[in-house]
Amino acid sequence: MKLAKIAYRNILRNRRRSILSGSAIAVATMSIVLLFGMMDGMLDDMARNEQRYNTGMIRIRNAEFDKYERLNPSHLVVQNATATAETFASYPWVTKISERINFPGRIYREDREYNVLGKGVDFEQEKEFQELEDSLIQGRFPTPGSREAVIGVKLAERMGLDLTDSTPDKITILTMKANRQQKHFTVEVVGLLAYPVGALNGTHVLIPLDTAQRLLLMNDALSEILLMVDEDVMTADEAAALLRSEQGPAFPELIIQSWLETNLIWGMMNLGKNVYNVFALFFFVLGSSVIINTTIMVIYERMGEIGTMGAMGMRGKELTRLFFLEAFFISALGALIGMVIGIVIILSIGTSGIPMGDMMDGIEGFSMSNYLYLGLSLRNTALVFVYSVAVASLSTFIPSRRAAKIEPVDALRAI
């Protein structure tokens, strides 16, 4: 017998039941596609922001810095920075470099205190490394060697700075010099930055690198060197391992790490993704329960049909295959519809993002943007489709086996 044709006929004959079952699978599939899209988007966004603003793909620091980081060890620096940066930038797979001086400090203004994270940077480097020009919403960048700064827009709002008038807006920063003595200096704010990461807008103050070296007695030294690498050539972990192998003996005082080695939150997010995989299984089992229930109802509703098919010679495995094929066709169509709807939603709102407001502004160390972007992984989406069809189809095995055990005489007697 052509079981596929019979299964197809049964599906069309019971449209309402088939639509109910297929809708359950479609909703479950769409939900998981969106769930994975949200998780992939969050991880991609976090990775991009972490690399741009905090660690690069490879971070090079004084080997003792991390141990005393909470104490602001401004004396633990990368010495002979010019030659050191040139050495690491000479590798052909290094695509971008950022030389930075970090100086946590405080701003005192009108009897109020503001904690800030100051950075001395080469603005020409950062325009490429951070894509900093995209974040400049007002004013201009400081000129090299000047006592000028750009600051986060939220910090400017809290301090009441207004760059539109003719009066220069100046701030005085108290921080620590390389010799561990306190230092305060005044800079003029010439530009405002609106980072995609809200937390940075309330803390960041950027001044020219050479100015920071001069004011903080850094000479030819840096807090850190950050690198971006061409991942088509090698991964960040592979690049960091190669640099440690080739340059470690020449720079024993430095520690060379990939961004994955420095970011604990990233590991927690990946763990969360694995937890989402478990949730996905429960979604599918929940959706598949509708098919189980409807299949059990079908057994009682179609007793006469089962008895007739049994009397015509259909037994055991053939009955099981028939119900399995019905569930397979319904789940395949439902999963396909749910997958397509999920993809359309991701493509519709994935690039523009879902505004999160100021939810992420106060969360330090969590490099999430103020917009939630959805990511589309064709591999994950295909796996969701296969997974949903498999779970939904296999879920009919128990009721199908039950139908197969019904004797034709008993089934016909139930008519």
The 3-state secondary structure of 324-366 reads HHHHHHHHHHHHHHHHHHHHHHHHHHCCCCEECCCCCCCCCCC
HEC profile of the chain: CCHHHHHHHHHHHCHHHHHHHHHHHHHHHHHHHHHHHHHHHHHHHHHHHHHHHHHCCEEEEECCCHHHHHHCCCCCCECCHHHHHHHHHCCCCEEEEEEEEEEEEEEEECCEEEEEEEEEECHHHHHHHCCHHHCEEEECCCCCCCCEEEEEHHHHHHHCCCCCCCCCEEEEEEEECCCCCEEEEEEEEEEEECCCCHHHHCCEEEEEHHHHHHHCCCCCCECEEEEEECCCCCCHHHHHHHHHHHHCCCCCCEEEEEHHHHCHHHHHHHHHHHHHHHHHHHHHHHHHHHHHHHHHHHHHHCHHHHHHHHHCCCCHHHHHHHHHHHHHHHHHHHHHHHHHHHHHHHHHHCCCCEECCCCCCCCCCCCCCCEECCCCCHHHHHHHHHHHHHHHHHCCHHHHHHHHCCCHHHHHHCC
Give the separation between CA 282 and CA 276, rounded to whole angstroms.
10
Confidence class for position 366, pLDDT limits 50, 70, 90 = low
Average pLDDT over the chain, rounded to an integer: 82
Residue 338 phi, psi (nearest 5):
-60, -40
Q: What is the pLDDT of residue 326?
A: 79
Point out the least confidently predicted range of 187-201, 217-231, 308-322, 340-354: 308-322
pLDDT at 182 over 80: yes
If pLDDT is split at 50, 70 and 90, which confidence band does 280 have? low
**How confident is the model at residue 186, as a pLDDT?**
93
Residues paired with residue 222 on neighbouring β-strands, in sequence order: 78
Distance CA 147, CA 120 (A): 11
- Summarised one tens digit per residue, pLDDT across range 70-125 is 778 888 999 999 999 999 999 999 999 999 999 999 998 877 899 999 999 999 99
Q: How confident is the model at residue 38 (pLDDT cuts 50, 70, 90)?
A: confident
Q: Is the pLDDT of residue 323 over 60?
A: yes
Would you state the structure tokens that stand for residue 156, as one six-digit string? 């400017």
Confidence at residue 276, expressed as pLDDT on a 0 to 100 scale: 64
- Whether residue 61 contacts residue 254, with contact meaning beta carbons closer than 8 Å, is answered with yes
pLDDT at 19: 84
Average pLDDT over residues 243-261: 92
Q: Which is nearest to 400 in space by CA: 304, 328, 325, 319?
A: 319
Q: Domain spans of the chain?
A: 3-50+266-413, 64-230
Q: Which residues contact residue 335 at a Cβ distance below 8 angstroms, ignoring those fewer than 6 apart?
A: 25, 26, 29, 384, 385, 388, 389, 392
Give the pLDDT confidence score for residue 317 in this predicted structure. Answer: 72
Q: What is the pLDDT of residue 312?
A: 66
Q: What is the C-alpha to C-alpha distance for residues 147 and 320, in angstroms, rounded to an integer?
A: 80
Name the token pair of 145.
């060697």
Specify the higher pLDDT residue, 172 or 398.
Answer: 172
Q: Is the pLDDT of residue 274 over 70?
A: no
**What digits encode the pLDDT tens for the residues 116-156?**
999 999 999 999 999 999 999 999 999 999 999 999 999 99
β-bridge partners, 225: 60, 99
Dihedral in degrees, nearest 10, Cα atoms 401, 403, 406, 409: -150
